[in-house]
Amino acid sequence: MLSKAFLYSGSEPPRPMELRSGPLTLWFEPHTAFLRHIRLGDHEVVRALYAAVRDQNWTTIRPQVTLREQDIRPDSFRLAFDCVCRRGAI
């Protein structure tokens, strides 16, 4: 069965990346730049972090994310990306 993402866009989004920095773990979604399930050891401390751009009707404008750099190591990570949100006058 085809996913909603495939039906809407014609392709599957990139898989989330599991990242670690010392005792901190999280999931980074490369297609939205969301950080999810931020955990300190066994405890989730933040469910999600993201920046939303909204139009005059309060509709969220989907970002176009370009991952510029990634340095992922067993106990640290560094990501650099550009994020552009455009729709109509926004």
6 falls within a domain? no
pLDDT at 90 (0 to 100)? 83
The pLDDT score that the predictor gives to residue 16 is: 96
Is residue 90 assigned to a domain? no
CB 32 within 8 A of CB 38: no
pLDDT for residue 5: 64
| Domain count within the chain | 1
Section 19-38 average pLDDT = 97
Q: How far is CA 22 from CA 37, 41, 72, 73, in A?
A: 15, 9, 13, 11
Range of the domain at 24: 16-82
- Tell me what pLDDT residue 7 has: 67
Q: What is the pLDDT of residue 14?
A: 86
Which of 89, 30, 29, 81 lies closest to 54, judged by CA? 89
Report how far residue 7's alpha carbon sits from residue 83's, in angstroms, rounded to the nearest whole number.
23
| pLDDT score of 89 | 84
Residues near 67 by Cβ (< 8 Å), separated by ≥ 6?
Answer: 30, 79, 80, 81
Asked whether residue 89 is domain-assigned, the answer is no
Q: pLDDT band for 27, please (50, 70, 90 cuts).
A: very high
Give me the percent of the chain exceeding a pLDDT of 70.
91
